[in-house]
A and B are shown apart, each in its own frame.
Chain A
Amino acid sequence: MNQNHLSFGRRQFLQTTALAAATAGLGLYDASPASAQAAPKRGGNFTFAISAETPHYDAHGSDTFATLHFGAPFYSTLLQFNLADYPKVKGDLAASWDVAADLMTYTFKLTPNVTFHDGTALTSADVKATYDRMRNPPTGVVSTRQATFIDIDAIETPDPLTVVFKMKNPNPAMLEHFASPWNWIYAAKDLAANPNGPRTAINGTGPFRFGEHVRGSHITGARNDKYFRQGRPYLDGFRGVFMTQPAAMMNALQGGQVLAEFRGISPAERDRLVQVMGDRVRIEESSWTLNLMVVFNTEKKPFDDVRVRRALHLAIDRRAGAQGLARTATLRDAGGLIRPGSPFAMKDEDLLKVPGFGRDIAAARNEARRLLREAGVPNLTFVLHNRNLAQPYTPAGIFLVDQWRQIGVNVEHRQSETSPYLAGMSSGNFDVAVDFSNLFMDEPSLALAKYLSFNKAPENRSRAIDAEMDRLYAAQSRERDFQKRFDLIRQFEKRALDQAYQVPLLWWHRIVPTHRTVMGWQMSPSHNLGQDLADVWLNT
């Protein structure tokens, strides 16, 4: 990698995101993290819990961890985040790379002799086909990565092991986007045969080969003996068990039927595990690049009316919620569109002045009632569409119902399994929903992409079209001066909160339990990262 070609913008980006990682407050209850240095042992089958089941197998069209925890061991990406030195990146399929000084060209050299699980050799054509699918999906294919790769102009493949990305505009965070855990590399021939094939079939270059998927039960994988990284993986295989009931998962963790759960558990569950298991369990904590949000379907009345959306936004006492829910749920911080404490986040003193985030909730609720009367819906009734995961969706739903009842709004709380929950939001079949912004780094272009117009970002479940927000997004993503970019992000944030198509609720706090025998896994502020299990081994 040519370090000299790094621009000031990219350096600054790295510095700020490194600071963010530090402020993420990675914490341990245990002095020996799962990533601790020790001589790895080979063999063994690793069983872990997955607290939701993926609706399909295609990471390009997914934004739920359930897809990554299910399928990451089967796939590779061009780059990966180096979790030992987060947020720096390291090569995965890319053996080396070069970034032009003007950030307009990215050249990757692929690791030779990599094969897909079906025996096909990996070439640059596979990488091109994969990225073309993400940035410009064929009809019928859903890509929630379109906005991320909007700046790519062309992809060239001068030889089978070289891929060149030509940019339309410089993007200081582009290299980190290439390390996104969602960018699984698919075989070009598979995509040519059926562009939607990855939704139902698995053929990757990852450390494990697909074993079986039994719906409602488990996913298994067996070691890929032809994996391109020497000596990896250590495990013979893995078994991911779907456990949507927290009580069952806690019992399985205590009893050793599962050895880890990588998404995160609640503070109460943590305390219970520590009390019961003592030093047999390892607890690692971090702030979380994950934000729970409330999304209004702007194609449905009365949520097409900004007054109604603003009223519902104003009625939520986030300060009290953050304090109260932190004890029982994985929710922790009140914040704006960017994770609190990260470099581009709004400062808390400024956030207090923003309607909906201040301390005077009585005044905010009076204003909310006035807006509802003005909109002609003083006794509004609607269904809150929510996911049936205990953490933190159920507590969030209970909290929201209570908050809206206090301004006279009657809400029916309806929770669904992950698949119908996501399908309902994607098809626009909801009034108001609890949505999530699932990030893997503190990069504003990533965090704000969800707020882009629906025709640019299908993951914007409000289905709103707002040209002004699109303009501000583009401007901030190309701005290389920190302060100017910071100011542009504030403008974007103000517009987002004024229009309230979708508004942040609370940011999460990650607590991961693993048995002490689980080694080689790295904690990070994102549950999307480090889930290919290539470095995991069992110290039994």
Chain B
Amino acid sequence: MAGAVSQPNVTYAAPKRRSALAMFCLAQPLGAVSGVAILIMLFGGVFADFVAPYDPLTIDFGAMLAPPSWEHWMGTDAFGRDIFSRVIYGARTALTIGFFASLFGCVSGAMIGVASAYFGGRVDMVVQRFIDVMLSFPIIVLALVVVAMLGRNLLGGIDINLVFAIAIPIVPKVARVVRSAALSIREMPYIDAARAAGFGHMRIILRHMVPNVAAPFLIMFTAFIAQAILLEASLSFLGLGVTEPTPAWGLMLSGNASDFYREAPWMILFPGLAISVAVFAFNLFGDSLRDWLDPKFKV
């Protein structure tokens, strides 16, 4: 006689589903820390009017070259302007120019890269040779040439030409990477199917190819924000970026800072630190995003 088998009273709980954000934080702790740093910068930049203790443009000759204190956390510059407030407002300048330059450069580069891969043949050959020429220029040299040629064109306080000058050197780099990703997508059966269905080139590129290069695009977009911030700081340091009295980290390192860095090292220390943290954070975040999104790194 078969004895009755007692079934253990076990309840199976559905596996706990973590949010993508939590999973990213667990898998990429350094990426999470850099994300927090970016959010803090973003918050400071957006709400600078409320966060900054002083007006960044107001001169106070009575407080010239004051060292860091409770009154001025990061000291003051040669015009008595509060460096902490200028660093906070500088985040606005850096992030705005960095974001838009990276966005413009990456979107343009992605479009060129995908189109080049999709059409192939002579089109691809001509586009790639042009990109070869563009890539042969160091990024800072190309930006210098563009900014010197375009001059200034302010729109809402942002120099549009400076954004273009920083974006243009980004375009060929993104185009080359995106093209390599798009070449394999071009050979996929669904692309052939779309062609067979009679869809136009534009529809195939925009609806079937571009979404499939989103992962490398996002990674490059964040990484190039860091490059753009660095480039904006470099151009401003060289006197070709934003002009005084606009608070900008690179600009804060030039001008009077070079005269007073011995007696007032805080004039260069804090803007330099801000640039380093911003670039480091965006680079780290981009790397973490790549590790997170790219299946090859998940093996």
Q: Which residue of B lies closest to A245 (CB)?
A: B239
Q: Which of A206-248 contact B (CB under 8 A)?
A: 244-247
* Contact partners of A405 in chain B: CB under 8 A: 57-58
Decide: A413 and B243 in contact? CB cutoff 8 A.
yes
Decide: B80 and A324 in contact? CB cutoff 8 A.
yes
Q: Is B71 an interface residue (CB 8 A)?
A: no
Decide: A320 and B61 in contact? CB cutoff 8 A.
yes
* Contact partners of A275 in chain B: CB under 8 A: 262
Q: Which of B151-166 contact A (CB under 8 A)?
A: 152, 154
Q: Tell which of A244, A324, A402 touches B245, judged by Cβ atoms closer than 8 Å.
A: A402
Decide: B59 and A398 in contact? CB cutoff 8 A.
yes
* Contact partners of A101 in chain B: CB under 8 A: none
Q: Is B48 an interface residue (CB 8 A)?
A: no
Decide: B244 and A328 in contact? CB cutoff 8 A.
no
Q: Is B78 an interface residue (CB 8 A)?
A: yes
Q: Tell which of B59, B259, B260 touches A402, judged by Cβ atoms closer than 8 Å.
A: B59
Distance A247 CA – B256 CA, assembled complex (angstroms): 9
Distance A507 CA – B35 CA, assembled complex (angstroms): 51
Decide: A398 and B61 in contact? CB cutoff 8 A.
no
Distance A245 CA – B238 CA, assembled complex (angstroms): 8
Given A324-B80, A401-B245, also A412-B154 (CB < 8 A): yes
* Contact partners of B79 in chain A: CB under 8 A: 324, 328, 395, 398-399, 402
Distance A401 CA – B247 CA, assembled complex (angstroms): 13
Given A398-B245, A414-B243, also A390-B255 (CB < 8 A): yes
Number of A-B contacts (CB under 8 A): 64
Given A245-B239, A272-B259, also A413-B59 (CB < 8 A): no
Distance A395 CA – B255 CA, assembled complex (angstroms): 9
Q: Tell which of B57, B59, B244 touches A324, judged by Cβ atoms closer than 8 Å.
A: B59
Decide: B244 and A402 in contact? CB cutoff 8 A.
no
Decide: A402 and B64 in contact? CB cutoff 8 A.
no
Q: Is A172 an interface residue (CB 8 A)?
A: no
Q: Which of A91-146 contact B (CB under 8 A)?
A: none
Q: Is A323 an interface residue (CB 8 A)?
A: yes
Distance A320 CA – B59 CA, assembled complex (angstroms): 10
Decide: A402 and B243 in contact? CB cutoff 8 A.
no
Chain B contact residues: helix, strand, loop or mixed: loop
Q: Is B254 an interface residue (CB 8 A)?
A: yes
Decide: B244 and A399 in contact? CB cutoff 8 A.
no
* Contact partners of B259 in chain A: CB under 8 A: 246, 266, 268-269, 272, 328
* Contact partners of B59 in chain A: CB under 8 A: 324, 398-399, 402
Decide: B245 and A247 in contact? CB cutoff 8 A.
no
Decide: A328 and B256 in contact? CB cutoff 8 A.
yes
Distance A327 CA – B238 CA, assembled complex (angstroms): 24
Q: Is B258 an interface residue (CB 8 A)?
A: yes
* Contact partners of A266 in chain B: CB under 8 A: 259
Digitize A384-422: 1 where CB-to-B-CB distance is under 8 Å, 0 elsewhere: 000010100011011101100100000011110000000
* Contact partners of B262 in chain A: CB under 8 A: 272, 275
Given A247-B254, A269-B259, A272-B259, also A324-B243 (CB < 8 A): no
Decide: A413 and B244 in contact? CB cutoff 8 A.
yes
Decide: A394 and B57 in contact? CB cutoff 8 A.
no
Distance A273 CA – B75 CA, assembled complex (angstroms): 25
Decide: A402 and B154 in contact? CB cutoff 8 A.
no
Digitize A298-329: 1 where CB-to-B-CB distance is under 8 Å, 0 elsewhere: 00000000000000000000001001100110
Digitize B254-284: 1 where CB-to-A-CB distance is under 8 Å, 0 elsewhere: 1110111010000000000000000000000
Q: State how many angstroms separate the Cβ of B183 from the closest Cβ of chain A.
A: 43
Q: List 26 A-B contacts (CB under 8 A).
A: A244-B239, A268-B260, A269-B259, A272-B259, A275-B262, A324-B61, A324-B80, A327-B78, A328-B79, A328-B256, A328-B259, A328-B260, A390-B255, A394-B255, A395-B79, A397-B244, A398-B79, A399-B59, A399-B79, A402-B57, A402-B59, A402-B79, A412-B154, A413-B244, A413-B246, A415-B243
